[in-house]
Structure 1
Amino acid sequence: MLPYVRKDPLTIVQGCTFLHTWEWTAGGQPVDLTGAEFELVAKSSTDNATALIHLTTANAGITVNGNAITLRIEEAITRTYIWRDAVFNLRVKWPGPEPRRVDPFMTGRIEVLPGVLA
């Protein structure tokens, strides 16, 4: 499975809640995401070891409802974002016996716009 490559960046406004939802369909049908886990990591570059954003379904920031995947970052966290550009990967770990299959879901850029009230 190849990831969906976003042509436009995800945009976060510093000091505001970031909320974005996708519905995953294949062949026009909803994909069954029951038991699937997602993880998003954003870094300043692919070769940088430091994560600027790390969201998961297990710890926080990503929720799954049916075939919808939602990312949420609270304003108290985005207020601390002093960086302006990053690359990200969002991957899915499918349910099943270990070792579980992991596939890329989406890749692209994230930009942070400075907030006047941040």
Structure 2
Amino acid sequence: MAATYRFNIDQGTTVKRTLRWTRDGQPVDLTGATARMEIRTAVGGTLLHRLDTDNGGLTLAADGTILIRIAPEVSSAWTVTSGVYDLEVVDASGQITRLIQGQVSVSPEVTTGV
């Protein structure tokens, strides 16, 4: 079962979160794996953003590290303050594992870029 984590985002900022996937205390080798993550308004709701290893939103490392990155202009465009997400890893054999899931809270931006 996937871990549950509340993802807090300050709208209009560069978001970087680093996770490490371990199994029995040892890092899971993510060589050859891909990953995908969607942030939506609700389960089955409007897609706010998709991150994956192809678009650079997710970066995987052999030591089990997963870097999540969202550019400031992405969250600046959102008009919602909450949503849901999950993150899935597809290993080299095609097996899919949902690692984390949960709620997204967006702290609205007051100061905007010029």
Give me the TM-score of the superposition, normalised by structure 1: 0.87
1:16 counterpart residue number: 13
1:65 counterpart residue number: 61
Is 1:108 paired with 2:108?
no
Indicate if the aligned counterparts of 2:40 and 2:48 stay in contact, CA closer than 8 A.
Answer: yes
Is 1:52 paired with 2:48?
yes
Is 1:37 paired with 2:34?
yes
1:82 counterpart residue number: 79
Off by >4 Å, runs of 4+ in structure 1: none
CA RMSD of aligned residues (A): 1.2
1:3 counterpart residue number: 2
1:29 positional shift = 0.7
Measured in 1, the distance between the counterparts of 2:33 and 2:65 equals: 11
Give me the TM-score of the superposition, normalised by structure 2: 0.90
Structure 2: tracts of 5 or more residues without a match: none
1:15 positional shift = 1.1
Matched residue count: 111
Q: Secondary structure at the match of 1:77?
A: helix
Structure 1: tracts of 5 or more residues without a match: none
